[in-house]
Chains A and B, each alone.
Chain A
Amino acid sequence: MISTTAILKEIQIMNNKTGQNQLFFLHWLDRTSRFFSGIRLPEWFHKEDKNYHPFRIMVDKEISDHVKSWRFIILIAIIALTCLGSMYTAITNISKAVKPDDPVDAFFFLKLFTLSDGTMPSFFVFIGFLGPLLGIGLGFDAINSEQNKGTLSRILSQPIHRDYLINAKFVAALVVISVMLFALSFLVTGLGLIMIGIPPTAEEFLRIVTFVLLSIIYVAFWLNLSILFSVWFRQPATSALASIAVWLFFTVFSVLIISLISKAIAPSETATPQQILHYEHLKLNLMRFLPNELFSEATTTLLMPTVRSLGPLTMEQVYGTIPGPLPLSQSLLLVWPQVTGLIAASILCFVVSYVLFMRREIRPR
């Protein structure tokens, strides 16, 4: 209290002597800061004085670059808006989705993420669709823009390992993506909580967290792919186009191609059940070459606990089962191959870009 009045007095004095305004302000600042210095701030707060590892500094810089860039703001705006839209349709339709004697009722909350009335895709479909765009957007000019700006040779002539640069780019983008996806999902969760008033159970919450982790892995795959193109191509425009072309190919054309192929090899109507089963497996395995298919299979299983199998089931297998949701551990077990596939694909992209970058001669622009 005493210090507050002292400060107020000083402000009055300041007003009287306008000429010395600045001096007094500095004095005042000094006093207030001395007042607050009694409170000890944690060690990490005094960032300036600490001698961080160069890698940490590079990651810091990349993150701040991403967060400040228009590109990221636009991407986050698109994703946030579409997610809010899908959230809205889910909430307006949720009352119709609940059936009185539905055993899935226990997973009422997850419907927020999966429900759709056909006009607007659900939250997880949107993440599957826009996630690649986010990954591509954050990675397509990682290396080649540094080269074109002429900063690449300057940074690499500092005493740091060469892979710090590419690792920092990857880690920074991954951190940004993770924070963003977690924030977005928790916002959707919180908003849903307010709107429908039913809290999620622990398992539902864990399912949401695993879904976000899965989405991060999926976006990381596209991030690595676009970093690969940014090492490969000299022009950011080329690498952006190449990444988008791959994305379009996977989401649109490859599905067409696979349906063409599967039509061509379709068994005749008189085929034995084994043949048909074999064909169905083949069709599914072809689809599983596509990362988006892996992602949608995995997220469907995680967010809809009633999904019991991702392949065709025979009547024998289904016979005698009690229709009920799977526990989280079983759902995870079911999607484990898909998750492994996604991680493997992203590691593959990263390794190729790493090797390309490490062997490259660093010329000034």
Chain B
Amino acid sequence: MDCIELNDLTKKYGSYTAVDHLNLTVRKGEIFGLLGPNGAGKSTTILMMLGLTEPTSGSVRVCGINSITNPIEVKRKVGYLPEDVGFYDELTGMENLVFTARLNCISGKAATHKAEHLLRRVSLSGDAHKKAGKYSRGMRQRLGLADVLIKNPEVIILDEPTLGIDPKGVREFLELIVELSKEEGITVLFSSHHLHQVQKVCDRVGLFVNGRLLAEGDIQTLSKKLFTKGTYAIEAGIAPSASDTSAFAGKKYSAEEVKKVLQSLDGIIDVMAKDDLFVIECSHDATTEIAKAVIASGADLYYLNRKEYGLDDIYYRYFEGDSDHE
């Protein structure tokens, strides 16, 4: 079942198009990562999902409800954690949570009970009665997560939630999100420009640049789509055999020489030397053949890896491509 459906969603500010005919679906129960650089239109898209700003054209449906005509119902089901969330400084963390709960029509006692439970969950119960103004950045973000969860949401939208938290805090925060999503079956939309975090937690990723969705899918599909253009990249560490007494002894192979070794194989497109390794580009998965050929030639094979692309590579690769277009 689709939990979030965006159809041809467009948002224009004057002549500037922030979101350009966006089509996106997020399935129920998955963690979807919205990945893009600053100013890509991620936040604007999220605001439109919540009915906090009106789209120029197109439609948004969240949990089957139209966000433009019926934002209240959507907001009943969706928890939104804005980037750099703010709390009422003069109230305690607990009071802030209870206030949100009561805005969601949860009665006073139930709200207190729930807030206590959630504060324990985000490990803030020790600071529950401290003024929110005294909270650190990471604590505020965790309080924000509790604040989002207090209404029992079906979907939570996190806009750059890890900004400005230290690495340990980030790890804990991400673990908490995954845990919650799996336990309670909450659909999570996670917007970030941090590739590693998205890679760590998200089931599927949408790559979002200049208001358009460039690619969508899990990390493997994405890397397939964006990178290899139908080719495989294999990293190999090849060195002359230690027992070799020929002219090559003690020297390093050059790319040309490796190519010579592998020339008998089908589908080898190119060989490049990169640091200590050789990157072999081929039209099909030739890992086994390469290994056999190298061993047969008498050289040492000390490293062999079919390259999986991380989001980092996807990101940079895309921007290289992007600069080519312009």
Contact = CB atoms under 8 A, between A and B. Distances in A.
27 contacts: A47-B108, A48-B108, A48-B109, A49-B108, A50-B107, A51-B106, A52-B102, A54-B104, A54-B105, A57-B99, A65-B88, A65-B90, A150-B82, A150-B85, A152-B86, A153-B82, A154-B85, A154-B100, A154-B147, A157-B50, A158-B100, A159-B76, A159-B104, A160-B72, A361-B52, A363-B43, A365-B84
A107 B52 CA distance: 57
Nearest to B89: A149
B80 interface: yes
Interface of B: 43, 47, 50, 52-53, 72-73, 75-76, 78-80, 82-90, 99-100, 102-109, 112, 144, 147, 151, 159
Interface size class of A (residues with CB under 8 A): 20 to 34
Given A51-B105, A157-B50, A159-B151, 4 more contacts: A51-B106, A54-B103, A154-B147, A157-B80
A51 B90 contact: no
Interface string A63-77: 001001000000000
A156 B277 CA distance: 54
Given A156-B52, A158-B151, A364 B109 contact: no
A54 B103 CA distance: 5
Contacts of A156: 52
A157 B71 CA distance: 9
Nearest to A161: B72
Nearest to B54: A361
A161 to B, nearest CB: 7
A164 to B, nearest CB: 9
A364 B72 contact: no
B84 A150 contact: yes
A116 B109 CA distance: 54
Given A58-B103, A151-B86, A364 B43 contact: yes
A158 B82 contact: no
Contacts of B89: 149
B261 to A, nearest CB: 57
A365 B159 CA distance: 12
A361 B99 CA distance: 23
A149 B103 contact: no
Contacts of B79: 157
A362 interface: yes
Contacts of A159: 72-73, 75-76, 103-105, 151
Interface string A16-59: 00000000000000000000000000000001111110100110
A282 interface: no
A281 interface: no
B88 A151 contact: yes
A155 interface: yes
Contact of A54 (B47, B53, B102, B159): B102
Contacts of B144: 154
Given A157-B50, A159-B73, A364 B108 contact: no
A58 B99 CA distance: 8
A160 B52 CA distance: 12
Contacts of A50: 107-108
